[in-house]
Structure 1
Amino acid sequence: MADPKHDAGNADPQKLKADLWKKMADSPFLMVGAADGSTHSEPLTAQLDPDQVDTLFFFVGRDNRVAGKDKLMLQFVAKGHDYFACLAGSGRINNDPVLIDKLWNKQVEAWFPEGKSDPNLGLLQVDIDSAELWETDMSLSGRVKMLFGGTVKPSESGSHAKVLTTAESTAA
């Protein structure tokens, strides 16, 4: 559900969604915090499961500040600072052993010395309820104007969309 009042240029929600997952696969670090603002956000590494769209997973300690929060806000900035996302979702601990096996890797193992049976291990599942996505595919004329203090037109700046799903194949 795009908001034309805030869209820059002709935003293509499908392209923005596809780019989100590509960018997160390249740099899976997000700031995650309680939606009610009761805690500061903290950096967590997302585990992406291609079989579950609109869902992110994070290995956390059961005592982590976001482990018990059911409404979360997540912010993502791509490596090249050309893509931004703000995601709202519902969180819960899902310690399904099959899912833990599927997502487990050497980086996670470094944080949990007792491995998959670590009593403090929690697999935080965040089901994304809505998102705002921005891609700064600034045109050459827009970049020149920025360098010299000119006014950048919306059509020169990039794309923005509000979406209810981040699934690539689902209409916005």
Structure 2
Amino acid sequence: MADKDTPQEVAAAFIAKLKASPFVMIGLMDGQHAEPMTAQLDDDQPNTLFFFSGPDNRIARGGEAMAQFVGKGHDFFACLAGTVTRDNDPAQVDKLWNNHVDAWFPNGKADATLLRFDVSSAELWETDISLTGRVKMLFGGTITPSESSSHAKVDAIA
């Protein structure tokens, strides 16, 4: 990790990137492939991502899971470990429901299942390679740690 970035700063950058492009690949640790889903964030519940799915979605049964994220500009990467469970709280559904979610469910909330992914640990990479480092990549040369990207291992993402 570059000296200028603490794990908390890298985690905050992750949240900002996820808000800008909320798409992750998520799958249960059962040997099935991960699938793309749109994460919903609740600022009142750090370390938790929410997803609306159909009740028969492959991750809807819950369990240990992994999620991967790539920032819109390929400038941030994350791998998150945690547990998926169903969240049947109508107030939470109402809080997170929006027009983007509604577009996927023709019968509205009656067709949707809210899943929560409680993040237990994460590895985060911010590819903030310096200008000097980029020139070295283009023309050859060794990138020093101070010219490299930020990396953080955290027990939680907030």
TM-score relative to the length of structure 2: 0.95
Q: Report the equivalent of 1:19.
A: 13
The whole-number CA distance in structure 1 between the counterparts of 2:90 and 2:121 is 28
Give CA-to-partner distance per residue, 1:105-147, whole Å, 9 cap, x none.
11111111111122xx211100000000111111111000000
Q: Report the equivalent of 1:91.
A: 84
Q: Which of 19, 24, 30 is 1:30 aligned to? A: 24
Matched residue pairs, number? 157
Identity of aligned residues (%): 59
Q: CA deviation at 1:154?
A: 2.2
Unaligned runs of 5+ in 2: none
The whole-number CA distance in structure 2 between the counterparts of 1:102 and 1:48 is 10
Q: Report the equivalent of 1:62.
A: 55
Unaligned runs of 5+ in 1: 1-7, 168-172
The whole-number CA distance in structure 2 between the counterparts of 1:9 and 1:110 is 41
8 A contact 2:62–2:86 mirrored in 1: no
The whole-number CA distance in structure 1 between the counterparts of 2:29 and 2:145 is 30
Task: Kindly indicate whether residue 46 of structure 2 is the aligned counterpart of residue 53 of structure 1.
Answer: yes
The whole-number CA distance in structure 2 between the counterparts of 1:43 and 1:149 is 36
What's the RMSD between the two structures over aligned residues? Answer: 1.1
TM-score relative to the length of structure 1: 0.88
Deviation >3 Å, runs of 4+: none
Q: Describe the SS at the equivalent of 2:41.
A: coil
> After superposition, where does 1:12-161 map in structure 2 within 5 Å?
12-36=6-30, 38-118=31-111, 121-161=112-152
